[in-house]
Amino acid sequence: MKVLVIGNGGREHALAWKCARSPTAEEVLVAPGNAGTETEPGVRNVDISPTDIDALARLALDEGVGLTIVGPEAPLVAGIVDHFSGLGLPCFGPSAAAAQLEGSKAFTKDFLARHGIPTAGYRNFTDLDAALAYIRERGAPIVVKADGLAAGKGVVVAMNVAEAEAAATEMLSGARFGSAGTRIVVEDYLAGEEASFIVVTDGDTVLPLASSQDHKARDEGDTGPNTGGMGAYSPAPVVTPAVESAIVAQVIRPTLAGMRAEGANYTGFLYAGLMILPDGSPKVIEFNCRMGDPETQPILVRLRSDLVGICAATLNGTLARQSLDWDPRAALGVVMTAGGYPGDYARGSVIAGLEHADSDTQKVFHAGTARNGRDVVTAGGRVLCVTGLGESVERAAREAYAAAEKIGWEDVYYRRDIGHRAIARERRVAS
């Protein structure tokens, strides 16, 4: 079978790499891919934008693609699954109606409230004066979020009221995030440890992926501006078996039942971004309608099962017969970025050392890269995700950083403390 992966980031490189290792994948196409997918064995890039749904469908029809996996949220929110299904093309992911769980934070908060699913207290606003009055009444810390898609950057965790007021003002005036910010959610601050929990589902059967945790803040100690993600690891030690059971029972199952009851059966990857409170209870921070980037990279290097088989089973109604087999080792990915990201940054810097950085326990996934003649050059803010595997999160980190140190370009930047919370927890348990 031919498989089509849509997207061009590190997540899509990992998806394409994993699919290419499937016994049933004859070839993997990536639209549009990057310099990493271009040289991955069994993978071919096709230069079509992830949001050009008509051109993607034509490609799938022309090539006889048997399975399409959608990496990013934008085509899902725009209805790619509905469009492909209408043409008889198997496409793994939620419909546009189901993808609203990511497409609108206000929709999601109201949905969670309607179905009694645990989340932080909140209110939605389109009117600035009402938002400012609410912020002053609740006090800080408090969290201000743009309603629509803002590439993971539309959230301000304000430690004082002035900061929250400034964020609300900027978002509601449309100066930041354009129309994605014309409605905002203001919610209570939750203190705890974050974890990502992703499942594969056909709307009824739930197959949890290994737990993971990403680091959204740009700088060490989880400080600095929010980014798309600076690194991730799997498993997340905070997700003990008891916490996992609570997440499935209190969050995942009621969410799927609620979506079904509201006429939008949810199929695909469902990603719950959670805050695990000190007593182990989960609260939903957000949903994503696809896998996370960079969580996908460490998760997939641990997955031993055939991803193509799992996605195909989801679409043909046999998911209940599937199970997932995991490498017991931990994996950790370090995102190497262009200096300046998430603000302005340079493109076109030549990347050196890539050929020395892959081994049995190290894998370099490309994100914002492109080929320029014989060189691989930077072509985005997040450039690479260098992933290591080891007996513990600490050892996985050692592998990842040993590989990262072999790679360089002008103004490269990455955090040196990815996994710090999990590593501290491992050390506490060991002593």
Gyration radius from the chain CA atoms: 21
**Site stretch for ligand AMP (CB under 6 A), options 165-173, 185-193, 233-241, 416-424:** 185-193
Q: Are strands 65-70 and 91-92 parallel, antiparallel or unpaired?
A: parallel
Hey, which residues between 282 and 301 contact ligand AMP (CB under 6 A)? 285-286
Name the percent of the chain in helix, strand, coil, to the closest 5: 35, 30, 35
330-338/223-234 β-pairing: antiparallel
The interface with ligand AMP within residues 236-275 (CB under 6 A) comprises: 273
Nearer to ligand AMP, 228 or 268 (CB): 228
How far, in Å, CA of 344 to CA of 381, rounded?
Answer: 8
**Shortest Cβ 389–ligand AMP spacing (Å):** 25
- Considering the complex, state which of residue 260 and residue 425 has its C-beta at the smaller distance from ligand AMP: 425
Taking the least distance from each CB to ligand AMP, the nearer of 157 and 313 is 157
C-alpha torsion sign, points 174, 177, 179, 182: negative
Stretch that binds ligand AMP, among 150-158, 303-311, 326-334, 376-384 (CB under 6 A): 150-158
H or E element at residue 70: strand 65-70
Which of 369, 385, 403 has its CA nearest to residue 333? 385
Q: Does 157 bind ligand AMP (CB under 6 A)?
A: yes
- Hey, what are 156's tokens? 């301000």
Whichever of 337 and 361 has its CB closer to ligand AMP, that residue is 337
Asked if 143 interacts with ligand AMP (CB under 6 A), we say: yes
Query: Per CB under 6 A, which region of 174-182, 187-195, 289-297, 361-369 contacts ligand AMP?
Result: 187-195
Q: Among 128-136, 170-178, 183-191, 310-318, which window interacts with ligand AMP (CB under 6 A)?
A: 183-191
Q: List beta partners, residue 201.
A: 206, 268
**CA–CA distance, 301 with 232 (Å, rounded to integer):** 12
Q: Does 166 bind ligand AMP (CB under 6 A)?
A: no
Q: Is 120 in the site for ligand AMP (CB under 6 A)?
A: yes
**How many residues sit close enough to ligand AMP to count as binding (CB under 6 A)?**
15
- Rule CB under 6 A: say whether 216 interacts with ligand AMP: yes
Specify the DSSP element, H or E, that contains 231: strand 223-234
430 burial (CB, 10 Å; 0-12 / 13-18 / 19+) is exposed
The piece of 126-134, 182-190, 241-249, 390-398 that touches ligand AMP (CB under 6 A) is 182-190
β-pair type (330-338, 382-390)? antiparallel
CB of 71 to ligand AMP, least distance (A): 18
Interface pick for ligand AMP out of 152, 228, 333, 380 (rule CB under 6 A): 152
Query: Which residue has tokens 């601050």?
Result: 189
Task: Say how far apart CA 387 and CA 357 lie, in whole Å.
Answer: 10
- Answer for which of 1, 2, 52, 189 binds ligand AMP (CB under 6 A) is 189
Question: Mapping DSSP to helix (H, G, I), strand (E, B) and coil, where does residue 96 land?
Answer: helix
Residues at the site binding ligand AMP, with contacts judged by CB under 6 A: 120, 143, 145, 152, 155, 157, 187, 189-190, 194, 216, 226, 273, 285-286
